[in-house]
Structures are given as C-alpha cells and as structure tokens.
Amino acid sequence: MQHRNLGSQGLRVSALGLGTMGMSMAYGASNDDEGIATIRRAHELGIDFFDTAELYGAGTGSNEILLGEAVKDFRDEVVLATKFGFDMTASPLSPGFNSRPENIRKVAENSLRYLQSDHIDLFYQHISDPAVPVEEVAGVVGELITEGKVKYFGLSNVGPQYIRRAHAVTPVSVLQYEYSLFEREVEEKILPVLRELGIGLVPYSPLGRGFLTGQVKPASEYPADDMRSWDERWQGENYTYNLHAADQLKKLADTKGITTAQLALAWLLAQGEDIAPIPGTRSTKRLEENAGATDVQLSAADLARLTEILPRGSAGSRYPAAMLSSFTTD
C-alpha cells in the first residue's frame, strides 16, 4: 500500500483510507461483526487511515466504539480520525451545531474513551458553527494538540476564507470534502487554496455514494433509512443521466481489466499526491476491490476520456438545498 503526506505538520497515511460511517448509519441495516472484520481486513491490506465521527453514532459513540474495538490490537499502527461540531441533543435527523469550546473538549474526551486511545490522530470540525468564530475553534484544538490529546487539526465542508482563518491560528493538516468523478465542486476555488497553504485533501464519498461501484438501482428501491432513497442523483432524469455515465465508465474500465470503482478511485488518486480518499464499505470483498485501485495507472488519454464522459460531474445536487445552506462556502 502506497502512503501519502497530508498537510505540512507530519501527517502520513495510506493512499486509500476507510470511512466507517456506513457501518452504523445512512446505508440501511448494518452488522457490527461485519464492520469489525472489514476494518481488520483493511489493516491486513496496509490501509492505516480510518475515519469516524461523533455524528455517526448519533451521540452514543457507537461508531467510534466499533472502530476502537476493531483496532485495539494494533492501535499504534493506524491513524484514527474523528469529528466534532454537531449538537447531538437536537433531533438525530436534523442535528444543530455546537463548536463551543466546552463541547469540543467534551467530544474529545468521549472520543478518546470510545476509541480506547490516549490521543486522537486527526480531529476535524465536522461542520462550521455560525455562533462560534473559527478562530476560537482553532484555538481550542490547538490547546488539545499542545496537551497531547490531538495530533492534527482538520476541517470539513468549508470554503477558502474559513480555511485561511483557521490555518492562521492552528495549522490545518487536512480538509475533508466530497470529491469524485461525480462531484468536483472542490476543484475550482478550494483545492488551489489547500495547495497554497500546504493542506491535504481527504475526499469522502469518492465512489459517488455507491453509484460508481456499478451496483445501483432507482431511489424508490432503497429503504427509507438509506440516504440514496432521497439523494437527488438517484431521482428521475438525474438517475438516467448518471446511469448512462456509469455505463460509459464501465466500458472504459472493462478495456483495462478493472472495475468501475477501481477506475473512479484511480482517477481520484491521480489528481495529486496530497489526496487520500476514504471510500466507505462494510464488505471485505468490496474493500479488497477498492484497495486494488492503488495499483492502477491511468494514461493522459484515459484521464481525458474520463473528463469527456463526465465533463461537469453528476446530475443532481449532492445534498438537499436546506442541508447545503448550512455549509460555509466562503
């Protein structure tokens, strides 16, 4: 497994990480034993970068507990990332924001306990809080770093000016943002700032929430507790457009003897050595397939063809308008 440096503060991770959200929420019923087996298989394959969050356990810590249990025998060999920033006392379906200093510290202590660790490798602000200046947030995380409870500071779903303001207080190692063949919003204004400041990018949903795996069906065929049941990219004409694009990707992948998922991940890895995607899965078979993407080499002609197939990304918004309006874009 290849490794990459993220940011300028010393964070080094496997080129491909593993997102664990789907082991607890958003993609229908899950099984903890299956999730733990997948995490441990990832470690065997050389993947050492694992992503969780307070939100993924709806405030109960369940996803962090699962991850902590899975890696407890090799904790010092892996990088654990978790996140704060939501008000988990609000509705689980519509949590508010809470990046007040006292809550950041509370979440950190809970995460340390759930992960069975004396430190958090990478601590992200999951979403910006309009009531708390980012300078204050960065200052608290900086204190946690000084205290040895956190190693690196990350941000998620925020824009260029927010990143600059945070970085001026406590150096930011990583921004987490949705990025894939299906979603390229980050390219125009955010990625140049990251590279100017020496900040790495961790793309989440690098397989378009599963659309780029080739295993898709219309929104109506997913259960209500699966986010694809309401994702715009699975609706009506959007679904038809995206399915056609995925078919074209499969044809190109077939010519190279790889899967569509491997093609999509290889494309993302080719966008820069400062990028480390975290595809989520709870299947060891799918995990092994994803890991194979790190061995795929794409030519300039391949990359050009991919841009022809998806010149602007997918059809349909990545989140409902109400949810997107809560993200800081400046």
| Residues 16/1, Cβ–Cβ less than 8 Å | yes
Q: What is the edge-to-edge ordering of all strands in the sheet holding 18-19?
A: 18-19, 49-51, 79-84, 120-125, 150-156, 172-178, 200-204
Distance CA 80, CA 18 (A): 10
Distance CA 213, CA 169 (A): 40
Distance CA 309, CA 290 (A): 21
**Which residue is catalytic, options 56, 124, 162, 179?**
56
Task: Assign 204 to helix, strand or coil.
Answer: strand
Confirm whether 56 is a catalytic residue.
yes
DSSP 26-53: SBS---HHHHHHHHHHHHHTT--EEE--
CA-based R_g, the chain, Å = 19
Distance CA 191, CA 185 (A): 9
- Which residues belong to the active site? 56
